[in-house]
């Protein structure tokens, strides 16, 4: 199931992000796919982070970095270089159950009679929620699927 979900994200979401002006980093990290675009004096960056043990779970981390404050090449900016980092997931919270995944919340199981979403349905959720990321970049507004990532330090 994990491979099917990864393939669905690549086939549907990657072209969607690229149509919004993002360029995918050519890094070969198995758990992260990073995208970035220049927007005025900012570099807007997000990554699709896959669960580290290979389960079919992912989340989108995002932020922006001021070009004037960068100490690295703007083509190497990643979410950890952003002053503030945010996360897009299917619901707020800190557990893996909040990440995008095929497992349905119980209320959805009862409504639909199915335990799992198809991979395409998971990607449809991601595409439907991604405008909340765009709204954060434009207005710094946190939608219902966006929340800040607290960092140690």
DSSP code at position 93: S
User: What is the model's pTM?
Assistant: 0.90
pLDDT tens per residue across span 3-30: 999 999 999 999 999 999 999 998 878 8
Residues in the chain: 153
Name 148's bridge partners: 86
CA separation for the pair 98, 59 (Å, rounded): 9
pLDDT tens per residue across span 77-130: 778 877 889 999 998 888 888 999 999 888 888 888 889 999 999 999 999 999
Q: In what order do the strands lie in the sheet with 85-88?
A: 23-24, 32-39, 42-50, 58-66, 85-88, 146-148
Q: How far is CA 55 from the centre of its chain?
A: 16
CA separation for the pair 67, 72 (Å, rounded): 9
Half-sphere exposure of 11 (CA within 13 A, CB side): 11
């Amino acid at each position: 199931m994990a491979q099917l979900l990864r393939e669905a994200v690549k086939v549907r979401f990657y072209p969607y992000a690229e149509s919004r002006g993002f360029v995918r980093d050519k890094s070969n990290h198995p758990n992260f796919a990073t995208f970035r675009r220049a927007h005025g004096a900012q570099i807007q960056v997000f990554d699709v982070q896959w669960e580290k043990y290979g389960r079919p779970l992912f989340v989108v981390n995002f932020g922006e970095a001021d070009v004037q404050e960068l100490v690295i090449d703007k083509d190497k900016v990643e979410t950890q270089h952003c002053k503030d980092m945010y996360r897009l997931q299917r619901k707020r919270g800190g557990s893996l159950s909040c990440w995008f995944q095929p497992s349905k919340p119980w209320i959805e199981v009862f409504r639909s009679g199915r335990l799992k979403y198809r991979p395409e349905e998971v990607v449809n959720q991601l595409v439907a929620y991604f405008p909340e990321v765009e709204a954060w970049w434009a207005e710094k507004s946190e939608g219902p699927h966006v929340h800040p990532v607290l960092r140690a330090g």
